[in-house]
Structure 1
Protein backbone atom coordinates (compact mmCIF):
# COMPACT_ATOMS: atom_id res chain seq x y z
CA UNK A 1 0.00 0.00 0.00
CA UNK A 2 1.33 3.43 -0.87
CA UNK A 3 0.33 6.86 0.34
CA UNK A 4 -0.54 7.85 -3.25
CA UNK A 5 -4.18 7.95 -4.36
CA UNK A 6 -3.18 6.29 -7.68
CA UNK A 7 -1.28 3.21 -8.79
CA UNK A 8 1.67 2.62 -11.09
CA UNK A 9 -0.86 1.13 -13.51
CA UNK A 10 -2.77 4.44 -13.44
CA UNK A 11 0.44 6.31 -14.32
CA UNK A 12 1.22 3.94 -17.21
CA UNK A 13 -2.37 4.14 -18.51
CA UNK A 14 -2.23 7.96 -18.49
CA UNK A 15 1.18 7.97 -20.18
CA UNK A 16 -0.12 5.62 -22.88
CA UNK A 17 -3.22 7.78 -23.38
CA UNK A 18 -1.13 10.92 -23.77
CA UNK A 19 1.40 9.15 -26.03
CA UNK A 20 -1.40 8.13 -28.34
CA UNK A 21 -3.07 11.56 -28.22
CA UNK A 22 0.18 13.38 -28.95
CA UNK A 23 0.81 11.12 -31.92
CA UNK A 24 -2.72 11.41 -33.29
CA UNK A 25 -2.69 15.21 -33.06
CA UNK A 26 0.81 15.82 -34.44
CA UNK A 27 0.96 19.26 -36.02
CA UNK A 28 1.88 19.28 -39.72
CA UNK A 29 4.03 22.42 -39.35
CA UNK A 30 5.92 20.93 -36.39
CA UNK A 31 6.55 17.76 -38.40
CA UNK A 32 8.07 19.87 -41.17
CA UNK A 33 10.17 21.88 -38.70
CA UNK A 34 11.52 18.68 -37.17
CA UNK A 35 12.39 17.21 -40.59
CA UNK A 36 14.15 20.30 -41.92
CA UNK A 37 17.70 19.75 -40.63
CA UNK A 38 17.53 15.99 -40.07
CA UNK A 39 19.71 13.81 -42.26
CA UNK A 40 17.77 11.56 -44.65
CA UNK A 41 18.63 8.01 -43.63
CA UNK A 42 19.25 6.69 -47.15
CA UNK A 43 21.81 9.44 -47.81
CA UNK A 44 23.98 8.50 -44.81
CA UNK A 45 25.61 5.70 -46.81
CA UNK A 46 26.58 8.05 -49.62
CA UNK A 47 29.63 10.27 -49.75
CA UNK A 48 27.58 13.33 -48.79
CA UNK A 49 24.74 12.82 -46.30
CA UNK A 50 21.97 15.33 -46.91
CA UNK A 51 19.22 16.83 -44.80
CA UNK A 52 15.61 16.86 -45.97
CA UNK A 53 15.96 20.56 -46.81
CA UNK A 54 19.10 19.92 -48.87
CA UNK A 55 17.70 16.83 -50.58
CA UNK A 56 14.48 18.57 -51.59
CA UNK A 57 16.05 21.95 -52.45
CA UNK A 58 14.10 24.02 -49.95
CA UNK A 59 16.67 25.95 -47.98
CA UNK A 60 14.57 28.93 -46.93
CA UNK A 61 11.50 28.21 -49.09
CA UNK A 62 9.25 25.18 -48.90
CA UNK A 63 9.07 23.40 -52.23
CA UNK A 64 6.21 21.18 -53.43
CA UNK A 65 8.52 18.16 -53.08
CA UNK A 66 9.30 19.03 -49.44
CA UNK A 67 5.65 19.72 -48.68
CA UNK A 68 4.72 16.33 -50.19
CA UNK A 69 7.32 14.51 -48.05
CA UNK A 70 6.19 16.46 -44.97
CA UNK A 71 2.55 15.46 -45.55
CA UNK A 72 3.53 11.81 -46.05
CA UNK A 73 5.52 11.77 -42.79
CA UNK A 74 2.61 13.45 -40.98
CA UNK A 75 0.21 10.84 -42.38
CA UNK A 76 2.49 7.99 -41.22
CA UNK A 77 2.66 9.48 -37.72
CA UNK A 78 -1.07 10.11 -37.32
CA UNK A 79 -2.10 6.76 -38.82
CA UNK A 80 0.47 4.63 -36.99
CA UNK A 81 -0.70 1.54 -35.15
CA UNK A 82 -1.44 2.39 -31.55
CA UNK A 83 1.33 0.69 -29.58
CA UNK A 84 1.35 3.40 -26.92
CA UNK A 85 0.47 1.12 -24.02
CA UNK A 86 3.03 -1.45 -25.14
CA UNK A 87 5.73 1.22 -25.55
CA UNK A 88 5.06 2.74 -22.12
CA UNK A 89 5.07 -0.68 -20.45
CA UNK A 90 8.35 -1.60 -22.16
CA UNK A 91 9.98 1.56 -20.87
CA UNK A 92 8.58 1.01 -17.37
CA UNK A 93 10.03 -2.51 -17.40
CA UNK A 94 13.43 -1.30 -18.63
CA UNK A 95 13.11 -3.12 -21.96
CA UNK A 96 14.26 -1.96 -25.37
CA UNK A 97 12.42 -2.81 -28.59
CA UNK A 98 14.97 -4.07 -31.05
CA UNK A 99 13.72 -6.31 -33.80
CA UNK A 100 10.71 -6.24 -36.09
CA UNK A 101 9.67 -9.05 -38.36
CA UNK A 102 6.89 -8.90 -40.89
CA UNK A 103 5.33 -11.38 -43.23
CA UNK A 104 3.28 -10.89 -46.36
CA UNK A 105 0.67 -13.59 -46.70
CA UNK A 106 -2.09 -12.44 -48.98
CA UNK A 107 -1.97 -8.67 -48.85
CA UNK A 108 -0.33 -6.41 -51.36
CA UNK A 109 -0.54 -3.44 -48.98
CA UNK A 110 2.24 -4.40 -46.59
CA UNK A 111 2.66 -6.89 -43.83
CA UNK A 112 -0.24 -9.11 -42.81
CA UNK A 113 1.47 -10.24 -39.61
CA UNK A 114 4.17 -8.53 -37.58
CA UNK A 115 6.14 -9.42 -34.46
CA UNK A 116 8.42 -7.10 -32.52
CA UNK A 117 10.83 -8.11 -29.77
CA UNK A 118 11.91 -6.25 -26.70
CA UNK A 119 14.54 -7.27 -24.18
CA UNK A 120 16.65 -6.11 -21.30
CA UNK A 121 20.07 -4.83 -22.37
CA UNK A 122 21.71 -7.58 -20.30
CA UNK A 123 20.28 -10.41 -22.46
CA UNK A 124 23.15 -11.98 -24.36
CA UNK A 125 22.86 -11.48 -28.15
CA UNK A 126 23.11 -15.24 -28.77
CA UNK A 127 20.10 -15.95 -26.58
CA UNK A 128 18.11 -13.13 -28.17
CA UNK A 129 19.00 -14.35 -31.67
CA UNK A 130 17.98 -17.91 -30.80
CA UNK A 131 14.60 -16.79 -29.44
CA UNK A 132 13.94 -14.58 -32.48
CA UNK A 133 14.84 -17.43 -34.84
CA UNK A 134 12.50 -19.83 -33.00
CA UNK A 135 9.62 -17.33 -33.21
CA UNK A 136 10.29 -16.67 -36.90
CA UNK A 137 10.20 -20.41 -37.66
CA UNK A 138 7.07 -20.94 -35.53
CA UNK A 139 5.12 -18.18 -37.30
CA UNK A 140 6.12 -19.50 -40.72
CA UNK A 141 5.16 -23.08 -39.70
CA UNK A 142 1.70 -21.97 -38.52
CA UNK A 143 1.09 -20.00 -41.70
CA UNK A 144 2.05 -22.98 -43.85
CA UNK A 145 -0.14 -25.32 -41.78
CA UNK A 146 -3.08 -23.09 -42.65
CA UNK A 147 -2.28 -23.16 -46.35
CA UNK A 148 -0.75 -19.71 -46.40
CA UNK A 149 2.57 -19.03 -48.04
CA UNK A 150 4.69 -16.56 -46.09
CA UNK A 151 6.61 -14.31 -48.45
CA UNK A 152 8.34 -10.98 -48.39
CA UNK A 153 9.88 -11.75 -45.04
CA UNK A 154 11.32 -8.50 -43.80
CA UNK A 155 13.57 -8.35 -40.79
CA UNK A 156 15.12 -5.19 -39.43
CA UNK A 157 16.91 -4.34 -36.23
Structure 2
Protein backbone atom coordinates (compact mmCIF):
# COMPACT_ATOMS: atom_id res chain seq x y z
CA UNK A 1 0.00 0.00 0.00
CA UNK A 2 1.32 3.44 -0.86
CA UNK A 3 0.97 6.68 1.07
CA UNK A 4 -0.92 8.20 -1.86
CA UNK A 5 -4.71 8.38 -1.84
CA UNK A 6 -4.81 7.41 -5.52
CA UNK A 7 -3.70 4.52 -7.67
CA UNK A 8 -1.82 4.30 -10.93
CA UNK A 9 -5.17 3.44 -12.52
CA UNK A 10 -6.60 6.70 -11.12
CA UNK A 11 -3.72 8.64 -12.71
CA UNK A 12 -4.23 6.89 -16.05
CA UNK A 13 -7.98 7.49 -15.99
CA UNK A 14 -7.65 11.20 -15.20
CA UNK A 15 -4.90 11.69 -17.80
CA UNK A 16 -7.09 9.99 -20.41
CA UNK A 17 -10.09 12.14 -19.52
CA UNK A 18 -8.05 15.32 -19.85
CA UNK A 19 -6.45 14.09 -23.08
CA UNK A 20 -9.84 13.33 -24.61
CA UNK A 21 -11.46 16.54 -23.30
CA UNK A 22 -8.77 18.60 -25.01
CA UNK A 23 -9.38 16.82 -28.32
CA UNK A 24 -13.17 16.43 -28.02
CA UNK A 25 -14.22 20.02 -28.60
CA UNK A 26 -11.46 21.76 -30.52
CA UNK A 27 -11.62 25.53 -30.48
CA UNK A 28 -12.40 26.62 -34.05
CA UNK A 29 -10.22 29.74 -33.75
CA UNK A 30 -7.41 27.67 -32.32
CA UNK A 31 -7.49 25.45 -35.41
CA UNK A 32 -6.92 28.51 -37.59
CA UNK A 33 -4.19 29.83 -35.32
CA UNK A 34 -2.41 26.48 -35.58
CA UNK A 35 -2.49 26.75 -39.37
CA UNK A 36 -1.09 30.31 -39.56
CA UNK A 37 2.46 30.64 -40.76
CA UNK A 38 2.53 27.07 -42.09
CA UNK A 39 2.60 25.63 -45.59
CA UNK A 40 0.42 25.00 -47.50
CA UNK A 41 -2.05 27.14 -45.55
CA UNK A 42 -0.24 30.47 -45.99
CA UNK A 43 -0.61 30.23 -49.76
CA UNK A 44 -4.42 30.01 -49.59
CA UNK A 45 -6.92 32.80 -50.16
CA UNK A 46 -9.00 33.80 -47.15
CA UNK A 47 -11.98 31.76 -48.42
CA UNK A 48 -9.86 28.67 -49.14
CA UNK A 49 -8.15 29.01 -45.75
CA UNK A 50 -11.57 29.12 -44.05
CA UNK A 51 -12.73 26.05 -46.02
CA UNK A 52 -9.61 24.13 -44.97
CA UNK A 53 -10.04 25.32 -41.37
CA UNK A 54 -13.62 23.98 -41.35
CA UNK A 55 -12.45 20.62 -42.74
CA UNK A 56 -9.67 20.30 -40.13
CA UNK A 57 -12.06 21.29 -37.33
CA UNK A 58 -14.53 18.65 -38.54
CA UNK A 59 -11.81 15.96 -38.68
CA UNK A 60 -10.71 16.79 -35.13
CA UNK A 61 -14.30 16.77 -33.89
CA UNK A 62 -14.86 13.31 -35.42
CA UNK A 63 -11.63 11.86 -34.04
CA UNK A 64 -12.00 8.87 -31.76
CA UNK A 65 -11.45 9.48 -28.04
CA UNK A 66 -8.20 7.55 -27.69
CA UNK A 67 -7.02 8.99 -24.39
CA UNK A 68 -7.09 5.73 -22.45
CA UNK A 69 -5.29 3.94 -25.27
CA UNK A 70 -2.67 6.69 -25.64
CA UNK A 71 -2.02 6.94 -21.90
CA UNK A 72 -1.63 3.15 -21.54
CA UNK A 73 0.78 3.07 -24.49
CA UNK A 74 2.93 5.75 -22.92
CA UNK A 75 2.81 4.13 -19.50
CA UNK A 76 4.02 0.86 -21.05
CA UNK A 77 6.73 2.61 -23.12
CA UNK A 78 5.07 1.55 -26.36
CA UNK A 79 5.26 3.65 -29.51
CA UNK A 80 2.37 3.71 -31.97
CA UNK A 81 3.25 2.50 -35.43
CA UNK A 82 2.05 4.10 -38.66
CA UNK A 83 1.38 0.55 -39.88
CA UNK A 84 -2.12 -0.84 -39.75
CA UNK A 85 -4.17 -3.68 -41.20
CA UNK A 86 -7.52 -3.00 -42.87
CA UNK A 87 -10.33 -5.37 -43.74
CA UNK A 88 -12.14 -3.74 -46.64
CA UNK A 89 -15.57 -5.29 -46.68
CA UNK A 90 -17.86 -2.27 -46.69
CA UNK A 91 -19.77 -1.29 -49.82
CA UNK A 92 -18.50 2.31 -49.83
CA UNK A 93 -14.79 1.43 -49.75
CA UNK A 94 -14.21 2.37 -46.13
CA UNK A 95 -12.49 -0.21 -43.94
CA UNK A 96 -14.82 -2.46 -42.03
CA UNK A 97 -12.06 -3.18 -39.49
CA UNK A 98 -8.72 -1.47 -38.85
CA UNK A 99 -6.07 -2.87 -36.52
CA UNK A 100 -3.37 -0.48 -35.27
CA UNK A 101 -0.08 -1.48 -33.68
CA UNK A 102 2.26 -0.23 -30.98
CA UNK A 103 5.68 -1.65 -30.23
CA UNK A 104 8.53 -1.22 -27.81
CA UNK A 105 10.95 1.24 -29.37
CA UNK A 106 13.80 -1.28 -29.45
CA UNK A 107 11.83 -4.01 -31.25
CA UNK A 108 13.66 -4.65 -34.55
CA UNK A 109 11.90 -3.49 -37.71
CA UNK A 110 12.00 -6.98 -39.27
CA UNK A 111 10.22 -8.46 -36.23
CA UNK A 112 7.57 -5.73 -36.45
CA UNK A 113 7.06 -6.42 -40.15
CA UNK A 114 6.77 -10.19 -39.58
CA UNK A 115 4.26 -9.66 -36.77
CA UNK A 116 2.15 -7.27 -38.84
CA UNK A 117 2.18 -9.64 -41.83
CA UNK A 118 1.09 -12.51 -39.60
CA UNK A 119 -1.76 -10.48 -38.12
CA UNK A 120 -2.81 -9.32 -41.60
CA UNK A 121 -3.06 -12.93 -42.77
CA UNK A 122 -5.09 -13.95 -39.72
CA UNK A 123 -7.44 -10.96 -39.96
CA UNK A 124 -8.01 -11.55 -43.67
CA UNK A 125 -8.75 -15.23 -43.06
CA UNK A 126 -11.19 -14.42 -40.26
CA UNK A 127 -13.01 -11.84 -42.42
CA UNK A 128 -13.72 -14.31 -45.23
Residue 87 of structure 2 contacts residue 123 of structure 2 at CA under 8 Å; is this kept in 1?
no
TM-score, normalised relative to structure 1 = 0.76
Cα distance in 1 for residues equivalent to 2:94 and 2:52:
20
Cα distance in 2 for residues equivalent to 1:109 and 1:141:
19
Q: Could you say which residue in structure 2 is the equivalent of 1:29? A: 29
**Alignment root-mean-square deviation, CA:** 1.3
Q: Could you say which residue in structure 2 is the equivalent of 1:83? A: 66
Unaligned ranges ≥5, structure 2: none
Match of 2:94, SS state, is: coil
Unaligned ranges ≥5, structure 1: 40-50, 58-62, 145-157
Deviation of the 1:36 alpha carbon: 1.9
Match of 1:101, SS state, is: strand
* Structure ranking higher in helix proportion: 2
Cα distance in 1 for residues equivalent to 2:59 and 2:2:
41
In the alignment, is residue 130 of structure 1 matched against residue 119 of structure 2? Answer: no
Structure 1 stretches of 4+ with a deviation exceeding 3 A read: none
